[in-house]
């Protein structure tokens, strides 16, 4: 995958005239997204976030806008609603720019920061409460109005089929290099079937579908949640996947791509904080069956993302942006390890209602 810096000048050019930016405006990479290219644009005192949508993944950027703007509107002005980072139109009311109409502008919220790796369990509580609050506030939004931009996004059946196809193709000739990980994944197949069955039985709600800790903005001063970012994968689904992504990105003391595997362990105290925060954010508005599914959600999401990284490694790194060769395999090893640790360290934790 090419350098993240490569498209920065194009992104700036795409928005310069529509947003009346001066010749001295600057642009620099922002965040850690694996799919879209995100940048901070500064022009004197003005700041905005610009993003080029990866159209190999999101083939119709218009659909992303449609979904996000419906959610933005639903939440806007709602009593006690959590803020979402909103799209900003140009002076003519247009949201998509550049020759491919794949560049958009989002608001920049000052005095906020993102967290890549949790510093203390309190942040897990805050993050989980924030994402649960977001979903609860969308309980009265008809999930079927959202375009399914990436159908079957967290379906175990779909991800398993993708993995088997990639293994059979072995397009990059790497199957030998990750034989250990492949064998490990094969052993988890029965669980994938159980998870699919579990998902099929749960209520469908509006899910964020990418509840990573770094998809929240925290107030620098107070540490409270300031806003939710990245509404691209908001689609109907069962809540265990959202909780699962929180577990996946909060429970380990290491980043998702850390190669210090000996440190990649699930911290039960963080898991507990997540369940408390999540339950608190929902304020009793989820069902017993959903509560009982949360522990499985953590293990499931960890394994599924590990499997997706492994699949992409087998495919020759065509989906996730990588910073160096072998990056996807490193991510896969990390996430499979975390899954294994969750299985032994938190699988028995019941979540109190």
Could you tell me the two tokens for 14?
Answer: 């795409």
Q: Between residues 235 and 273, which has the closer beta carbon with respect to Mg ion?
A: 235
What is the dihedral sign for C-alpha 331, 304, 254, 249?
Answer: positive
Nearest CA-CA partner of 247 in 179, 331, 303, 170:
303
Site string for ligand GN1, 37-76 (x = CB under 6 A): --------------------x-------------------
Residue 200, φ and ψ in degrees, nearest 5:
-65, -25
DSSP assignment of 123-168 equals HHHHHHHHHHHHHHHTTTS-GGGS--SSTTTT-HHHHHHHHHHHHH
Cα 33 from chain centre:
9
The stretch near ligand GN1 (CB under 6 A) out of 28-36, 45-53, 78-86, 128-136 is: 28-36
In the list ligand GN1, Mg ion, none, the entry touching 112 (Cβ below 5 to 8 angstroms by class) is none
Site for Mg ion in 211-230 (CB under 5 A): 230
Burial of 42 (0-12, 13-18, 19+ CB in 10 A): middle
In the list ligand GN1, Mg ion, none, the entry touching 57 (Cβ below 5 to 8 angstroms by class) is ligand GN1
Site for ligand GN1 in 285-324 (CB under 6 A): 305
Cα 106 from chain centre:
17
342 binds ligand GN1, rule: CB under 6 A? no
Least CB distance to ligand GN1 at residue 105 (A):
18
Contacts of 286 (CB under 8 A, 6+ apart): 239
233 binds ligand GN1, rule: CB under 6 A? yes
* Residue of this chain nearest to Mg ion (CB atom): 210
Least CB distance to Mg ion at residue 33 (A):
6
In the list Mg ion, ligand GN1, none, the entry touching 34 (Cβ below 5 to 8 angstroms by class) is ligand GN1
181 binds ligand GN1, rule: CB under 6 A? no
Least CB distance to ligand GN1 at residue 90 (A):
24
Strand blocks (E) in 191-349: 205-207, 216-219, 225-228, 235-237
Q: Between residues 230 and 330, which has the closer beta carbon with respect to ligand GN1?
A: 230
The stretch near Mg ion (CB under 5 A) out of 100-108, 111-119, 165-173, 202-210 is: 202-210
Site for Mg ion in 57-86 (CB under 5 A): none
Q: Between residues 33 and 238, which has the closer beta carbon with respect to ligand GN1?
A: 33
8 A C-beta contact, residue 271 and residue 302: no
Nearest CA-CA partner of 243 in 267, 287, 212, 199:
212
Least CB distance to Mg ion at residue 239 (A):
17
The stretch near ligand GN1 (CB under 6 A) out of 30-38, 59-67, 220-228, 281-289 is: 30-38
Least CB distance to ligand GN1 at residue 266 (A):
17
Compute the distance between CA of residue 207 and CA of residue 199 in angstroms, rounded to an integer.
Answer: 13
What is the dihedral sign for C-alpha 236, 242, 243, 245?
Answer: positive
List of residues contacting Mg ion (CB under 5 A)? 210, 230
List of residues contacting ligand GN1 (CB under 6 A)? 33-35, 57, 210, 212, 230, 233, 256, 305
């Amino acid at each position: 995958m090419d350098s993240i810096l490569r498209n920065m000048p194009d992104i700036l050019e795409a928005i310069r005239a529509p947003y009346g930016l001066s010749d001295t405006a600057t642009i620099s990479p922002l965040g850690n997204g694996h799919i879209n290219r995100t940048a901070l644009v500064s022009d004197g005192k003005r700041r905005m976030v610009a993003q080029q949508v990866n159209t190999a993944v999101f083939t119709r950027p218009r659909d992303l806008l449609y979904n996000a703007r419906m959610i933005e509107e639903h939440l806007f002005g709602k009593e006690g609603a959590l803020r979402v980072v909103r799209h900003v139109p140009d002076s003519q009311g247009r949201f998509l720019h550049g020759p491919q109409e794949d560049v958009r502008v989002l608001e920049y919220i000052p005095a906020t920061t993102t967290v890549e790796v949790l510093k203390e369990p309190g942040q897990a509580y805050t993050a989980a409460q924030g994402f649960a609050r977001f979903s609860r506030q969308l309980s009265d939004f008809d999930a079927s109005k959202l375009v399914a931009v990436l159908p079957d996004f967290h379906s175990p059946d779909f991800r398993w089929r993708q993995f088997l196809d990639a293994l059979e193709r072995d397009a990059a000739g790497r199957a030998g290099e990750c034989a250990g990980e492949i064998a490990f994944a094969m052993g988890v197949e029965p669980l994938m079937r159980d998870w699919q069955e579990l998902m099929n039985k749960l209520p469908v709600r509006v899910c964020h579908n990418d509840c990573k800790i770094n998809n929240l903005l925290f107030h620098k001063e107070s540490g409270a949640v300031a806003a939710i970012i990245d509404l691209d994968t908001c689609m109907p689904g069962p809540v265990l996947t959202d909780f699962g992504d929180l577990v996946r990105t909060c429970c380990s003391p290491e980043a998702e791509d850390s190669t210090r595997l000996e440190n990649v362990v699930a911290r039960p105290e963080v898991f507990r904080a997540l369940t408390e925060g999540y339950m608190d954010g929902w304020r009793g508005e989820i069902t017993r069956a959903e509560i009982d599914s949360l522990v499985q959600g953590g293990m499931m999401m960890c394994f599924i993302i590990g499997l997706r990284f492994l699949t992409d490694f087998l495919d020759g790194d065509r989906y996730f942006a990588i910073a160096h060769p072998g990056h996807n395999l490193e991510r896969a090893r990390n996430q499979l390890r975390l899954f294994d640790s969750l299985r032994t360290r938190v699988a028995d934790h019941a979540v109190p209602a």
